[in-house]
Amino acid sequence: MIDFDTLEKGQVIGSKTISVNRGDLVRYAGASGDFNPIHWNERFAKEVELDSVIAHGMFTMGSAVDVVSEWVGNPAAVIDYQTRFTKPVVVQDPAGTNPTDQPGTEILVEGKVGALDAEAHTARIDLTVSVDGTKVLMKSQAVVQL
């Protein structure tokens, strides 16, 4: 359990690297029902002027908040979560390998305490979410009830 009184603004709560490959995108499409071809069809993605297939925005958003859920130890403690999508997460062709075996695109996530509310006993966690040094989510913030 997190001790609210030991938290400080700017404190890092954790980080992780999320690897997403095209097999992950197909599985996510099946689970979410989002079969938009920009998430699985290279030809279609390029026809609509994308560099390649891109990860689902909700996949990226949901994967990023795991840093917060794991830190607090209870996903239900996350009482608010918001973000802005700024850049697509491009998932390149695995070039002849089994798409489920290739490592995929790495999404880097770091969480820091952005604000504390002693009266409400909440912490706002600011997430930095990037791929190859480029932020793919902006103003990504989760509020945790402690």
The 10s digit of each residue's pLDDT in 67-114 is 999 999 999 999 999 999 999 999 987 765 565 566 689 999 999 999
pLDDT beyond 90 at 12: yes
Rg (CA), the chain: 17
Q: Where are the domains of the chain?
A: 4-95+102-145
Distance CA 145, CA 75 (A): 10
Q: What is the mean pLDDT of the chain?
A: 94
Q: Which residues pair with 117 in a beta bridge?
A: 122
Q: Which residues are CB-contacts of 99 (< 8 A; sequence separation ≥ 6)?
A: 21, 22, 23, 26
pLDDT beyond 90 at 48: yes
Sheet of strand 105-117: strand arrangement: 12-20, 105-117, 122-131, 134-145, 78-85
Nearest one of 117, 116, 119, 127 to 82, comparing CA atoms: 127
pTM of the model: 0.91
Determine whether domain 4-95+102-145 maps to CATH 3.30.750.24: no
pLDDT of amino acid 123 = 98
